[in-house]
Amino acid sequence: AQKVTQAQTEISVVEKEDVTLDCVYETRDTTYYLFWYKQPPSGELVFLIRRNSFDEQNEISGRYSWNFQKSTSSFNFTITASQVVDSAVYFCALGNFNKFYFGSGTKLNVKP
Amino acid sequence: GAGVSQSPSNKVTEKGKDVELRCDPISGHTALYWYRQRLGQGLEFLIYFQGNSAPDKSGLPSDRFSAERTGESVSTLTIQRTQQEDSAVYLCASSSRSGTGYTFGSGTRLTVV
């Protein structure tokens, strides 16, 4: 079965704090993709990153970084020096070309 | 087009009426997906189209839901005899065959009263 678990329903931090959003997945596929999407209050889903199952290199993009660990089936997302504009719901997703399974999302509140 | 376009952006309908939601994918994207997002919840897969292959309808919640797509063009999601539990944002996404991540439209917010 394919499943994505985002155990943190809501996180509140103060601006400039670092925050990590957890994502744990289950799949029997050997080839799969993992994604993170951001959904700001406007509602539109914004693509952040895609990672395939053969690429376990961590990635850093500005204040964002992702830690993919196949051994623990986790794909965690860290925001460094958070800003108020980072406030949104963040979704982790798992899939291939056919169907993507989304976690229930983590709502991040960044307070000034 | 430059992005995935969905229409209408908002739809209020009376219980029992049929509604049709439209999705115009990014030109050249072979794959098209429909998802439903209820208030405060995650995305629920509904249906997937890939080129001219038979669609994956495994996520459609009931036979009141149907979707069509001709080739790699526009798709319509139809909900017949709407119920209040159908109230949600319906999101469409498209992607290229390379699967470089898919692009979502801004959704249609459906309210059944």
Residues contacting residue A35 through CB under 8 Å, at least 6 positions apart: A47, A48, A49, A50, A51, A92, A93, A94, A95, A100, B101
Instruction: Give residue B2's pLDDT.
Output: 74
Which residues in chain B touch residue A93, judged by CB atoms under 8 angstroms apart?
Answer: 43
Q: Do A98 and B41 touch (CB under 8 A)?
A: no
Given CB atoms, is B27 within the 8 Å cutoff of chain A?
A: no
Q: Do B101 and A43 touch (CB under 8 A)?
A: no
Instruction: Give residue A100's pLDDT.
Output: 83
pLDDT tens string B71-88: 788 999 999 999 999 999
pLDDT tens string B7-59: 999 999 999 999 999 999 998 888 899 999 998 888 999 999 988 888 999 89
> How many whole angstroms separate alpha carbon B113 and alpha carbon B104?
26
Band (pLDDT 50/70/90 cuts) for residue B98 is: low
Determine how many CB atoms are found less than 10 A away from the CB of residue A46: 14
Instruction: Give residue B1's pLDDT.
Output: 54
> How many whole angstroms separate alpha carbon B47 and alpha carbon B59?
6
